[in-house]
């Protein structure tokens, strides 16, 4: 058991395992960041469209930053009330139950190698079954087809799986297996809901879906609530056993960390892409506008659902200005450049460099820059790039409000690009809704910490979390309704020109 003494301050340790780096963040009782440690790890691109991670590198980097953050803060294991875990979602790991040895590299959520498998499932008429049971569209993004590919392509994997020798998990499962020396094989409902294998209505692995993907049930982890003591980290690692009491996929954790705890509350995380989630309450809302229905979190038998939409090119659009066009040397330079003009001069950028995400889902769309004249300069393109991030988010949020039948009162924001005041003002103007940036923007890790701390009594109830959430800045819409509608209509004209662009060249290549 974890021992404490009355004079020792207590903390919650959040392990935030992301796509490019592992982070550990120590939070105090007020939800403040005490210390952060971060370590990047290698990305593997063996073929076009293939993205892989070494599961050991994930684990070693995560353990290293956990030790680093405790050492830097001068905090011992006895002062950690709980560990919360949040993770890159859908990334798929397969390992040996006895040795803990990975069967091969993890397939990352970005990996597209199973797209043909997904097309086959759709052609066979299974898309409606998957959506009805899982809330997901059939896409290579999710874990189910990745696991099927591993079983079919890693040598001996299927036979070993059928003998019960292997374990499958998303990154949360892999970390917990390592933290507990192989004692616990679990995942929470939010991560399970991203696999294409989990029925989000009756909270179980679905036999029909397992059959469609030819996946043995004995591979799968036990599904547990997002908040609750489900395991204990080994004393070998931290000197004492520490409760692992919070688990959530990164975007669900960020939604919880933003205290979007009531139906109709929504957040947008502006990272490489943009991930927008709206709390829809205790019943799943089926999307009729090509969004994803997902489990947000489960606490004490109470499950909250969300609608989700993803924008592929958020901060990555700014990276393109830097690395592709060489308009800027670093990302923070985009705002001062864009402020050199008061509007885009009629220029619209549709950053469909890898197709369009929700609600369009057009893999054949390509990047388009329209409205250029002899007077167009770098500042106009920079401003159009920022507007494109806001406009893509508007499309998703409009679809969400239609699906949920809820008008958005405000949008809570986080992620690196949310630090741009100009982008946040554009978002408020084009959405016609107040945009609110919180004081603590480490919302993904904070959400995992809150879920863990609620389970151990470090925080008393969700209302305490709601009270801790504080506004740093509010951005009120300033555009007239007519001007907003004009800009959105112009954006949609540009999107129409970007759509389906690559299909002709694809067909010609065949």
Is the bond into 302 cis (omega within 30 degrees of 0)?
no
**What pLDDT score does 504 carry?**
61
23 is in an annotated binding site: yes
Name the one residue in this structure whose structure tokens are 């603590």: 440
pLDDT at residue 116, as a whole number: 85
pLDDT at 438: 92
Helix and strand counts by DSSP (H, E) for the chain: 18, 23
250 annotated as ligand-binding: yes
CA distance 428 to 297: 28
134 is in an annotated binding site: no
Give the architecture-level CATH label for domain 259-438+470-502. Answer: 2-Layer Sandwich (3.30)
19 among annotated binding-site residues = yes
| CA–CA separation, 35 and 385 (whole Å) | 34
Inter-residue contact 220 to 147 (CB < 8 Å): no
pTM confidence score: 0.87
Residue range 319-332: mean pLDDT, rounded: 89
- The rounded mean pLDDT for the chain is 91
Instruction: Classify 53 as helix, strand or coil.
Output: strand
Determine whether the annotation assigns residue 416 to a binding site: yes
Pick the CATH number of 11-250 from 3.20.20.150, 3.40.50.10490, 3.30.420.40, 3.40.1170.20: 3.30.420.40
Q: What is the pLDDT of residues 482-494, one digit of tens each?
A: 999 999 999 999 9
The predicted structure's pLDDT at residue 60: 96
pLDDT tens readout for residues 32-51: 999 999 998 888 888 877 88
One fold for both 11-250 and 259-438+470-502? Answer: yes
Is 388 among the annotated ligand-binding positions? no
Q: Is 376 annotated as a binding-site member?
A: no
CA pair distance 11, 79, nearest whole angstrom: 6
Q: Tokens 């409205």 label which residue?
A: 371
Q: Where are the domains of the chain?
A: 11-250, 259-438+470-502
Q: Is 251 annotated as a binding residue?
A: yes
Helix (H) or strand (E) holding 407: none
Rounded to the nearest 5 percent, the helix, strand and coil shares of the chain are 40, 25, 35
Mean pLDDT in residue range 170-184: 96
Exposed e or buried b per residue across 102-118, where buried means at least 16 C-beta atoms within 10 angstroms of its C-beta: bbbbbbbbbbbbbeebb
Q: Express each pLDDT in 270-284 by its tens digit.
A: 988 899 999 999 999
Termini Cα distance of the chain: 63
Q: Is 468 annotated among the ligand-binding residues?
A: no
21 annotated ligand binder:
yes
User: Is 49 flagged in the annotation as binding?
Assistant: no
In the predicted model, what is the mean pLDDT of residues 313-336?
Answer: 89
Which of 443, 446, 381 lies closest to 418, judged by CA?
443
Q: β-strand 204-205 against 222-224: which pairing, if any?
A: unpaired
* Residue 272 counted as an annotated binding residue: yes
């Amino acid at each position: 058991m974890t021992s404490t003494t009355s004079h020792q301050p207590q903390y919650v340790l959040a392990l935030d395992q992301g796509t490019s780096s592992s982070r550990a963040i120590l939070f105090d009782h007020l939800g403040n960041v005490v210390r952060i440690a971060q370590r990047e790890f290698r990305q593997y691109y063996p073929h076009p469209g293939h993205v892989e991670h070494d599961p050991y590198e994930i684990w070693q980097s995560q353990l290293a930053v956990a030790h680093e953050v405790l050492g830097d803060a001068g905090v011992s294991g006895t002062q950690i009330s709980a560990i919360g875990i949040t993770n890159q979602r859908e990334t798929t790991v397969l390992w040996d139950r006895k040795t803990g040895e990975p069967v091969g590299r993890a397939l990352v959520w970005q990996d597209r190698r199973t797209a043909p498998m997904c097309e086959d499932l759709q052609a066979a008429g299974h898309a409606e079954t998957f959506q009805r049971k899982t809330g997901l569209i059939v896409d290579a993004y999710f874990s189910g087809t990745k696991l099927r590919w591993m079983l079919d392509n890693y040598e001996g994997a299927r036979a070993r799986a059928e003998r019960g020798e292997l374990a499958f998990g998303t990154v949360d499962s892999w970390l917990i297996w390592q933290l507990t020396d192989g004692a616990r094989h679990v995942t929470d409902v939010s991560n399970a809901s991203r696999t294409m294998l989990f029925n989000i209505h009756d909270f179980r692995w679905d036999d029909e879906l397992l059959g469609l993907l030819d996946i043995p049930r004995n591979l799968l982890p036990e599904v547990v609530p997002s908040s609750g003591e489900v395991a204990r980290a080994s004393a070998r690692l931290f000197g004492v056993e520490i409760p692992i009491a919070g688990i959530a996929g990164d975007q669900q954790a960020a939604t919880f960390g933003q205290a979007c705890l009531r139906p109709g509350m929504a957040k947008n995380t502006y990272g490489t892409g943009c991930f927008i989630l709206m709390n829809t309450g205790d019943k799943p809302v089926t999307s009729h506008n090509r969004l994803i229905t997902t489990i947000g979190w489960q606490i004490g038998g109470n499950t909250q659902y969300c609608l989700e939409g993803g924008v592929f090119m958020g901060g990555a659009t700014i990276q393109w200005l830097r690395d592709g066009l060489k308009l800027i040397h670093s990302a923070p330079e985009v705002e001062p450049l864009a402020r050199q003009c008061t509007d885009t001069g009629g220029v619209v950028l549709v950053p469909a460099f890898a197709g369009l995400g929700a609600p369009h889902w057009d893999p054949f769309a390509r990047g388009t820059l329209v409205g250029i004249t002899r007077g167009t300069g770098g500042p106009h393109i920079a401003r159009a790039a920022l507007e494109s991030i806001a406009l893509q988010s508007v499309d998703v949020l409009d679809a969400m409000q239609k699906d949920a039948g809820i008008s958005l009162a405000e949008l809570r924001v986080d992620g690196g690009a949310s630090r741009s005041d100009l982008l946040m003002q554009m978002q408020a103007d084009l959405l016609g809704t107040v945009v609110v940036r919180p004081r603590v923007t480490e919302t993904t890790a904070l959400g995992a910490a809150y879920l863990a701390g609620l389970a151990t009594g470090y925080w008393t109830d969700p209302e305490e979390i709601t009270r801790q959430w504080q506004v740093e800045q509010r951005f009120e819409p300033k555009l007239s309704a007519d001007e907003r509608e004009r800009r959105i209509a112009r954006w949609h004209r540009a999107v129409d020109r970007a759509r389906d662009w690559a299909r002709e060249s694809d067909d010609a290549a065949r």
